[in-house]
Copies of this chain bind each other. A is one copy, B any other.
Amino acid sequence: MRVPRQVVEARRSRLTELLLERGYLPISELCEELDVSEATARRDLSALESEERITRTYGGALGEFNATFTSFRERLREGTEAKGLIARTAVSLIKPGMSVYLDAGTTAFAIAQELRRHLPERLTLITNNLALLETLGSLPGAKTILLGGQLLERQSVLLGNEAVKAASAQEINIAFLSAQGMTEQGLWNSQRDIISLQKAVIKRAARSCFCLDRSKLGRTAPEHLTSWPKVAPLVSDLSLPELRQSGITLKPGVLLHSQP
């Protein structure tokens, strides 16, 4: 029997809520919870899936909870090769007892995963990146500090005055930062908030290490972060000659080239 449109919609949003809460539910439980037949439950699932509000699995469905996190993971998986290499080089700079800052790029995610494999002792890890927490929070023997700040919707990142203030109060031995583009003029990033925070971090960090893979070469972004003379180590899969072709000349020793 036909039922008012609004009832259908209500049931479907209840379904997404349920999945959001429980993560996963098999069809049978969905039927029971929503008090509908299997057929209807399936219809709801395929409707919601086509709206990309849930993910169906064989036998049930997954909520798009931590959708921010997974999208982050997916982005990471694209540049895997280069980012893995960059991460390995970056981690080799970390010594036991250090205080390490990781920022909000996908490279930071790769570094965190690399830390899972080779973890120096007694690290203090500092970040404004919520997507890193699952990884960093479970590293044994490391202390993880999250900067405070305003939550940027859909970004899983904390920014704003609070974040800048919190960063300025940290002791940082080495910071790993990323940018969205690099040109002859230097490094670029998309948002003023991000740049303010990065500048605060650079000021507090004994060493600021920029990690950029080749996809960033030649790109710009709305906001200018820094010019080349101020870039201390650049960790990249690019070589010096490749950089020179794009008009970027670095002093010797500045580039840490990540090779296979």
Residues of B within 8 A of A133 (CB): 130, 151
Alpha-carbon distance between A192 and B134 when the two chains are bound, in angstroms: 25
Residues of B within 8 A of A62 (CB): 23-24, 62
Q: Given A26-B57, A57-B59, A138 and B153 touching (CB < 8 A)? A: yes
Residues of B within 8 A of A166 (CB): 148, 162, 166
**Closest residue on chain B to residue A116 by CB atoms:** B17
Judged by DSSP, the binding face of A is mixed
A145 touches B149 (CB 8 A): yes
Residues of B within 8 A of A148 (CB): 145-149, 158, 162-163, 166
Stretch at the interface among A65-73, A176-184, A228-236: A65-73
- Is A137 at the interface (CB under 8 A from chain B)? yes
Q: Name A145-200 residues within 8 Å CB distance of B.
A: 145-151, 153, 158, 160, 162-163, 165-166, 169
Residues of B within 8 A of A102 (CB): none
- Is A209 at the interface (CB under 8 A from chain B)? no
Q: Name A46-100 residues within 8 Å CB distance of B.
A: 55, 57-60, 62, 65-66, 68, 70, 73
A134 touches B70 (CB 8 A): no
Residues of B within 8 A of A169 (CB): 162, 165
Interface size on A (CB < 8 Å)?
40
B136 touches A144 (CB 8 A): no
- Is A243 at the interface (CB under 8 A from chain B)? no
- Is A21 at the interface (CB under 8 A from chain B)? yes
B162 touches A145 (CB 8 A): yes
- Is A143 at the interface (CB under 8 A from chain B)? yes
Q: Which of B65, B146, B150, B162 contacts A158 (CB 8 A)?
A: B146
Q: Name A101-157 residues within 8 Å CB distance of B.
A: 130, 133-134, 136-138, 143-151, 153
Q: Name A194-224 residues within 8 Å CB distance of B.
A: none
A151 touches B162 (CB 8 A): no
